[in-house]
Amino acid sequence: MAQRPIVRIRREPARQTRKPGRRAFFPRAISSGEQATRQGPKFDAIENSVVRLLEGADLKQSPSEVAPDRALVFEVINPLSNVPKFILAARSAGFEWLGEDYDLADDEHEEQGEDEDPDSAKSAQSVLYVTMPTIAGLQKIVSLWKRFSAGAAKPTGGEGEWWPLFGYLSDVRPWSAKDRVDPTTDRYVERMARDHPDRPVRLELDLWFRAEPALRADARTYVTELLAVLGGQLLDFATIEPIHYQAALIEIPIAQARMLQSLKGPIADADRVMKVRPQSLYRADGGIEGDGVVAEVAEGPVALSGPSVAALLDGYPVDNHVLLAGRLDIQEVDIGAAMVPVARRKHGTSMASLIVHGDLGDDPGPIERPLTVVPVLASPQHLNVECTPPDKLPIAMVYRAVTALMEGIDGLPAQGENIVIVNHSICDREAPFAQRPSYWAKLLDHLSYTYRLLFVVSAGNSNDPFILDAYADAQAFADADPIERQVAVLRCVEKAKGRRIILSPAESMNSLTVGAIHGDGSGACPNGMTEPYDPVSGVTNITSSVGLGINRAIKPDMVETGGRQFVQSDVEDGLLSVWAIEHPDIGQLTAVPDPSGVTNGRLGFSTGTSNAAALITRAAIRLADVAEDIFEENDEVWAESATRAVVLKALLAHGCGWGATGELLYSLYPGKWQRRREAVSRTIGYGKPDHTRVVSADGSRITLLADDVINHDELHEYRLPVPRAMINNREIRRVTMTLAWSSPIDPVTKRYRGVLVEVVDGDGKRKFWDGLDGVKGEDGSKKVTGPVVDATRRGTLQHIVLEGKKLIRTAPTGDIFVGVQARADLVAFANVDIPYALAITLEMGQPVRQDLFADVAARVRAKRVAVPTRVRTRVRG
């Protein structure tokens, strides 16, 4: 353990309530008279449909007609102020609540990049409230509408909850084929028809998750009967109740798939189908095979200590490779060894090697714990790559894999009770994140909160070409000055961000999403190759996908080295296009299978965001050792703590910083300062972590760690001693605060995140100390140290870097107030425990005479007290 370790701190024993923030703004509703003109004909049509239904008419053959058991959409111009109350009102009126959805046609707010409060109406878009009506419900809604449109006063009780909805209403209509068929389906079907014109097309159907178990149980039969009419077949079917997921993987004739492109056909009009979308499929990049090298490993048994704390969900590794033998614990759930020929076990072997050994080009040494592996990639005979099984739903396989580790399945006991870290580098190639969280991301968020897990997720690789408008042709690009070329590529990658979005489930809110930096331990740029960036620049490689995430949260969270990629270019239609390529002798050096089977010690190179995620997982395993020591000092067991995952999450992110890379990108990107900082956040998140600075300190730096569980409306107070070294001088001083928490989710509401936790000062803001008033650069502007602080509140990781050099002669209170407070975004989570961890580093930019570490550590330890039993504050209605 380091000589100057992390010092654990306790919160103040006094109980406090949350400091209220800004109130959400809601625009004025449209008057009942104006709404009667706008929406009256639609309710007249609903009333006519009810009359016809009561007369015995069958409206099932008319998709545009409102009918029972056909999803009914209330589209509003602004979210309601109290959705939970409206849900209760809808249910009491005879409507089954199906959820909220987004109007994805409204993409403008995603591109504006303005720094808006996440609760602000300015950042809102049209919202769809989706219900399933009964005849009685339709009759009730018509009755209530007539009263509203006649100008009747808002009634008390549940009926009154309809008045705000009527006031914001912009449309009321059945869920249509336009809603049902995902926009990505058109391009997907076109590509399948072009590449495989004689093959059927595989699609996924997301079904409405019904409240009645009997209706859910009948869903499989419904899909089977639907496919029988079309000449298709059901390949897989899954139900995951906690995230309201019920889906089918189907195969249909190309002619039926073509009909979906025109929003026509039986599937496009299937009432029980919520979404039709491309098959979720991950396929590992094959890379370029080189001659390879053979590892030289000293003989002798592998010495491991402690249980495995990390699991790799990936391909089946070569477990007898000389670098991996005796280090892996392989747990077969859905994928067995016979399903993956040894010669094709490249991705899983490389990822296991990076986690265990790091980039062998840097020779960092192996971790001392075993690594658990649950294979989820196969290699079918007709394919020469690793991929999720083409006849399986990947989300169901991930669910079974994690359940097998945590609880056990098929009558077997739990296979990984000590697992805290899950490396998840597979993603949906057909699903770039599009504002709404995917079911895959919902699953990871649910599992992380339920089992106290930290998922480390890759941002995904965007391999499509992009336009480079700074050069006329490929030769001019190749001959350009390297610095000018780097600037041109960086600017054009930023312009193309809308087509290089993170791949689901990288938007997962509770997970750590990792992008890839252009860097590795291999040799110089080979002759004839064009390297887009200087490896020391710290920028992301060409294919690393960009954010943002759910609710425009910071994604990726961080970046790590992911190998150097080169570029090729070509002119098409007068425009120069550029794309990434790999070189067989450049990248991160790892164990790989030997295609010939001659040796079990072959090494090879690879690149990508999966590699970067593997290195973060490796760092998390190392930090688990640190966390164990810290908790052991207080006679606690880290692995049994409610905060075990968020402690690692906070420590992993705590060493992040933009540094020179952030300043470079900020200077190149267009727009006002808010948009430029957001653009940097999309690319590198909070930056690259420096874990050494976190786990060890010196006389001018100390890292403090707090962890606890918190409830809605609570505030936990921490008092940080002001180091004497920060008083009476103008040296640069820095305070870095990282708050990580894990939130439950509501899978069917737009709010999604159950609880917001944030770090605040004594006034509920973020002005912690006069000595941290910012540092100005040479041009007189304040130094850019990270994302806009308000943007950090949108996810479950808040990382703030504060600097200053203002002369402070005295510190009257001798300490800095730092509060951690919680607010339930949804009533359902008002009484749940939310685990959080807060890491704080106090440091001076220059060596100081007084030992800052010894000063602060002594004062913290002197006042350390046990945390009293917490009394939950009253939850205000």
Would you say 387 and 281 are in contact if contact means Cβ atoms under 8 Å apart?
A: yes
Would you say 597 and 485 are in contact if contact means Cβ atoms under 8 Å apart?
A: no
Write out the two tokens for 471. Answer: 């050069």
The number of folded domains in the chain is: 4
pLDDT band (50, 70, 90) for residue 793: very high
Same domain, 141 and 243: no
The answer as to whether 2 is a domain residue is: no
Nearest Cα to 326, choosing from 297, 292, 362?
Answer: 297
Overall average pLDDT of the 184-211 stretch = 96
The residue assigned the tokens 């997962």 is 508
> Among 610, 633, 656, which residue terminates a domain?
633
Q: What percent of the chain has pLDDT over 70?
A: 91
Nearest Cα to 379, choosing from 414, 415, 347?
Answer: 347
Overall average pLDDT of the 537-563 stretch = 96
Same domain, 153 and 188: no
Instruction: Output 730 or 129, whichever has higher pLDDT.
Output: 129
pLDDT band (50, 70, 90) for residue 111: very low
Instruction: Output 731 or 796, whichever has higher pLDDT.
Output: 796
Same domain, 97 and 193: no
The per-residue pLDDT for 288 is 64
Q: Give pLDDT tens digits for 44-67.
A: 999 999 999 998 888 888 888 999
The per-residue pLDDT for 864 is 63
Residue 298 has pLDDT above 60, yes or no: no
* Phi, then psi, of 699 in degrees rounded to 5: -65, -15
Nearest Cα to 490, choosing from 556, 453, 534?
Answer: 534
Nearest Cα to 718, choosing from 637, 815, 626?
Answer: 815
Q: Give pLDDT tens digits for 603-626.
A: 999 999 999 999 999 999 999 999
Residue 18 has pLDDT above 70, yes or no: yes
The answer as to whether 546 is a domain residue is: yes
The per-residue pLDDT for 110 is 41
Overall average pLDDT of the 844-861 stretch = 83
Instruction: Output 736 or 779, whichever has higher pLDDT.
Output: 736
Helix (H, G, I), strand (E, B) or coil at 464: coil
Same domain, 525 and 461: yes
Same domain, 41 and 13: no
The answer as to whether 292 is a domain residue is: no
The per-residue pLDDT for 291 is 63
Give the CA diameter of the chain.
91
> Among 593, 610, 633, which residue terminates a domain?
633
The per-residue pLDDT for 615 is 99
pLDDT band (50, 70, 90) for residue 802: confident
Q: What percent of the chain has pLDDT over 90?
A: 71
Residue 779 has pLDDT above 90, yes or no: no
Same domain, 137 and 256: no
Overall average pLDDT of the 739-768 stretch = 92
Q: Give pLDDT tens digits for 315-373.
A: 999 999 999 999 999 999 999 999 999 999 999 999 999 999 999 999 889 999 999 99
How far is it, in rounded angstroms, from Cα 314 to Cα 425?
Answer: 7
Identify the CATH number of the domain in which residue 350 sits.
3.40.50.200
Q: Give pLDDT tens digits for 62-91.
A: 888 999 989 999 999 888 888 889 999 999
Same domain, 338 and 398: yes
The per-residue pLDDT for 751 is 87
The answer as to whether 650 is a domain residue is: no
The answer as to whether 279 is a domain residue is: no
The per-residue pLDDT for 573 is 84
pLDDT band (50, 70, 90) for residue 126: confident
Q: In what order do the strands lie in the sheet with 245-252?
A: 233-240, 245-252, 201-207, 273-278
Same domain, 535 and 594: yes
The residue range of the domain holding 448 is: 305-633
The answer as to whether 187 is a domain residue is: yes
Same domain, 171 and 190: no
What one-character DSSP code corresponds to residue 327? T
Would you say 789 and 678 are in contact if contact means Cβ atoms under 8 Å apart?
A: no
Overall average pLDDT of the 125-144 stretch = 92
Same domain, 220 and 341: no
The per-residue pLDDT for 141 is 96
Instruction: Output 851 or 343, whichever has higher pLDDT.
Output: 343
Same domain, 49 and 188: no
How far is it, in rounded angstroms, from Cα 87 to Cα 80?
Answer: 11
The per-residue pLDDT for 384 is 80
The answer as to whether 160 is a domain residue is: yes
Same domain, 350 and 482: yes
Write out the two tokens for 257. Answer: 């798939």
> Among 175, 194, 211, which residue terminates a domain?
175
Task: Share the mean pLDDT of the chain.
Answer: 89
Overall average pLDDT of the 125-149 stretch = 93
The per-residue pLDDT for 771 is 63
The per-residue pLDDT for 874 is 31
The answer as to whether 277 is a domain residue is: no
Omega of the bond leading into 394 within 30 degrees of 0 (cis) = no
pTM: 0.93
Identify the CATH number of the domain in which residue 795 sits.
2.60.120.380
The residue assigned the tokens 């060890």 is 696
Write out the two tokens for 766. Answer: 């973020």
